[in-house]
Chain A
Amino acid sequence: MNNLNKLFGKKRENVLAVYFTAGYPKVDGTADTIVELAEAGADIVEVGMPFSDPLADGPTIQQSSKVALDQGMSLVRLFSQLENIRQRTSVPLVLMGYLNPVLQFGLKRFCQRCREVGVDGLILPDMPMDFFEENCKALFEANGLCSIFLVTPQTPDERIRQLDAASTGFLYAVSTNSTTGSSRGFGPEQQAYFQKLAAMNLKNPVLVGFGISTHEDFSTVCRHLNGGVVGSAFIRAQEQGISEKAFVKNLRERQVVS
């Protein structure tokens, strides 16, 4: 059984997914980062596949992607880094990135490699739903890969239902109209959007991403939905030399201000 479905079979609250960019900060640190995050208590690890032109990303992930690529990161290298990952951890693994590198690698070969190394799901934000249905769905299913789509505060309810129907694993709710890494806290508008999603009785668990950087942000989304995804804040923590363990602890537990 897919590790994502296994996870959500037993845990539906306070689910924490942590994103980092493969090949950053150290080009061959990908597998170690996954293992450290799993041991620190992340429920899901999202591995970013760096792309030269990350349209939906803010400065933090733009920069980590650029450094990773400059250091020689590639999909071929990523799959070789993940070759033995299942001997080290059973944490659900999701690859996230833009469609073009995947298409150049070859869709079929990509899905096969994902299965071989033990990837559980894919988030390809610029992949249109109809393209998925026509070209990817059968391949994903044949290789045991969950498809995870995004919804935003602007997505009409009818389309949310379509994206939920196309998703397996979880639905990724983008918190605000922004690129990744902006942090403005969640006001009444976002909370109403979270409440709406919670009331829709969607078939998938919903994780909120974009703009979660503190314990307060994380607990806000967990109050309404199944959990959250943290990306840019973790990459900034890596840059400051904060350990995976300390980072996950800070997100999960309220800090005592001294």
Chain B
Amino acid sequence: MKSNIDMAIDLASLRNPDAKGFYGPFGGAFVPEMLFPNVEELRSRYLEIIESEAFRQEFLGLLRDYAGRPTPLYFAKRLSEKYGTNLYLKREDLCHTGAHKINNTIGQILLARHLGKRRIIAETGAGQHGVATATVCALMGMECVVYMGALDMERQSPNVARMRMLGATVVPATSGNQTLKDATNEAIRDWICHPTDTHYIIGSVVGPHPYPDLVARLQSVISEEMRRQLAEKTGSEIPTAVLACVGGGSNAAGAFYHYIEEESVQLYGAEAAGHGVHSGETAATIALGKPGILHGSLSMLMQTDDGQVVEPYSISAGLDYPGVGPMHAALAHFGRAKYLSVTDEQALQAAHQLARLEGIIPALESAHALALLEELPFGKKDVVVVCLSGRGDKDMGVYGAP
């Protein structure tokens, strides 16, 4: 692994983008002028705000008392026996609202309040980010509008009901494949039309600078806790490997964040291959994509030779996205992390296995990360952490299907 890393790159630059938001060749802020003031306001203020002592106090307090952090690092004994290694699950599924998404939404709503915003918009795929956004809006008494692909509203209907109960307006996105990409387009259009009172809580490490860095920083609490918890349980903060699923890549960014500069730690991302990387029905962006611009950043992108974005497919609504965060594109480009493809079928098997061996029903997204264990040859002395990004209640329609 170590020998594959491009030594010319300063690893810290893969964690901290430059002033224009670039991680190596990826990132930036490719936005039309209509969005420029919004994005610029955020860019010029986010670091000063989120690094202030007052913000840290309030953010960490809410993570602890409201979201239920730290989440456990659980030694999965029976799963470890099955694979002949030492497997730990970072239990983000035990966060309030059932996924890691709440880490980001708590941080961003505090940021929005500092910026004097009164209205919140968000996009959502699986509905986890939408629920996490609706939740913090209820908590702070702010108006909340969530854009969700019409197809996703069908396949993740329990989350639609949750958002509505929390007081959010859920607006169906009816363009394209009616999934996450289309919901993001609609959210961006809303932001163009509301340039002063609205903050857009992007749910992943995507979008124009500073979003990838902002979201990665807010999610980095995952690996911050992992280091401390591993030290307690194994005597070392440093595992052999960290595994996480990658759609836009926010839980992976959080799980990798404090290990990027630890060269010995192998980082693996699981992309959704859908029916197979070369089936034409896939969301394996790093495997298939080329550098391109979508939603304001230059990253790997599934696209035609003519530069049109290809409609993705995955059984998992949260991974059904044709792009990926620029940090991941850079981690892959410089060989610091490896991204492997996992099919619908492999993810389903991994989900059912975890349910039977450990009594934990994972989200379809997280099941993609678990499925990597079939591919990667870890041994008895290795310590492997899998980021269990969310719980599977929302996916019972798929899991329970005959």
Chain A interface (Cβ within 8 Å of chain B)? 51-53, 55-56, 58, 62, 66, 69, 74-76, 98-105, 125-128, 130-131, 149-152, 154-156, 159, 163, 174, 177-179, 182
Contacts and interface: CB of A to CB of B under 8 A. Distances in A.
Interface string B196-216: 100000000000000000000
A127 B33 CA distance: 9
A154 B28 contact: no
Nearest to A59: B175
Nearest to B291: A103
Nearest to A153: B195
Contacts of A69: 308
Contact of B307 (A55, A104, A149, A182): A104
B192 interface: yes
A130 to B, nearest CB: 7
Contacts of A99: 30, 293
A178 B33 contact: no
Nearest to A99: B293
A177 B306 contact: no
Given A103-B292, A178-B192, A55 B32 contact: yes
Contact of A130 (B20, B32, B189): B20
Interface string B169-191: 00000011000010001001100
Given A104-B290, A154-B195, 12 more contacts: A52-B309, A53-B309, A55-B32, A62-B175, A74-B306, A75-B306, A104-B307, A154-B37, A155-B33, A174-B34, A177-B193, A179-B193
B30 A177 contact: no
Contacts of B29: 128
Contact of B30 (A74, A131, A178): A131
A143 to B, nearest CB: 20
A125 B284 CA distance: 29
Interface string B282-302: 000000001011111000010
Given A55-B188, A128-B30, A163-B33, A103 B293 contact: yes
Interface in B43-97: none
B195 A177 contact: yes
Contacts of A51: 307-308
Given A99-B293, A103-B292, A177-B195, A56 B32 contact: yes
A163 to B, nearest CB: 7
Contacts of A174: 33-34
A58 to B, nearest CB: 8
B189 A126 contact: no
Contact of A149 (B20, B33, B37, B295): B33
A128 B32 CA distance: 8
B194 interface: yes
A127 B306 contact: no
Contacts of A103: 292-293, 307
Interface string B222-247: 00000000000000000000000000
A230 to B, nearest CB: 18
Greatest chain A CB density within 10 A among B37, B185, B294, B307 is at B307
Contacts of B34: 56, 125, 150, 152, 154, 174, 177, 179
Given A100-B293, A103-B293, A177-B193, A53 B33 contact: no
Contact of A177 (B175, B194, B295, B305): B194
B128 interface: no
Nearest to A125: B32
B37 A155 contact: yes
B151 to A, nearest CB: 17
Greatest chain A CB density within 10 A among B20, B33, B36, B303 is at B33
Nearest to B20: A130
Nearest to A173: B33
19 contacts: A51-B307, A52-B308, A53-B176, A53-B185, A55-B295, A99-B293, A103-B293, A104-B290, A104-B305, A104-B307, A125-B33, A125-B34, A126-B30, A130-B20, A149-B33, A152-B34, A154-B196, A174-B33, A178-B192
Given A103-B293, A103-B307, A150-B33, A177 B192 contact: yes
Nearest to B31: A126
A112 B23 CA distance: 31
A174 B32 CA distance: 11
Nearest to A74: B306
Interface string B13-44: 00000001000000011111110110000000
Given A155-B37, A174-B33, A179 B307 contact: no
A54 to B, nearest CB: 8
A52 B310 CA distance: 8
Contacts of B188: 55
A150 B32 contact: yes
